[in-house]
Structure 1
Amino acid sequence: MTEATNTSRISTDDILNVAKLSRLAVNEDTASNYAQDISKILDMMDTISAIDTDGVKPLANIHEASQSLRADVANPDIDRTLNQSNAPEKQDGLFLVPQVIE
């Protein structure tokens, strides 16, 4: 990629115009750097889009790992009375909290 290719995608004027519309203070040097960086990102996205991915199975996780989960069963070792001993209000084994939705 040449520098001319990068700056032709997004110009410094484009960045300054968006900054003006957004009411952001961006000087010309910073706008030029942003234009080059964004153009490089767009060029990279074009390169990635050109890759043939037909037949490639999508991944949910790059490591093909899954989270091991414990069984969802009641634990008789948990003492409800002890766990609720410091609760400000409780009734019939439940925590009482102030109503937040009317």
Structure 2
Amino acid sequence: MRVLLKAHFDTEKGNELIRSGRMGDLIRETIDRVHPEAAYFLPEDGERTAYLFFDLEDPSQIPVITEPLFEAGDAKVSYTPAMNLDDVQKGLSQLRGGDSGQ
């Protein structure tokens, strides 16, 4: 299932990661782990934030992906199901098939 992983990094921990040169490593390791189709990095609500869109093949991946972000960056992490245009069109076409689910 395609998901959006959003990670907000604690400012002080983020500062430590940057000063130590470890922030780039953490980002690279996470990218290598999830192979996102898109990755964006921005300030949000005054915190360094990463948005990664990727295919979560199995829920058992969540601890493997998330724990390093918690440990190194004291990050607040959320996962949200996400669709691309093809997914939306496929879903909408199923609505037009006459089966309204009722």
Please say whether Structure 1 and Structure 2 have the same fold, judged by a TM-score greater than 0.5.
no
Task: Give the TM-score normalised by the residue count of structure 2.
Answer: 0.26
Higher helix share: 2
Task: Give the TM-score normalised by the residue count of structure 1.
Answer: 0.26
Higher strand share: 2
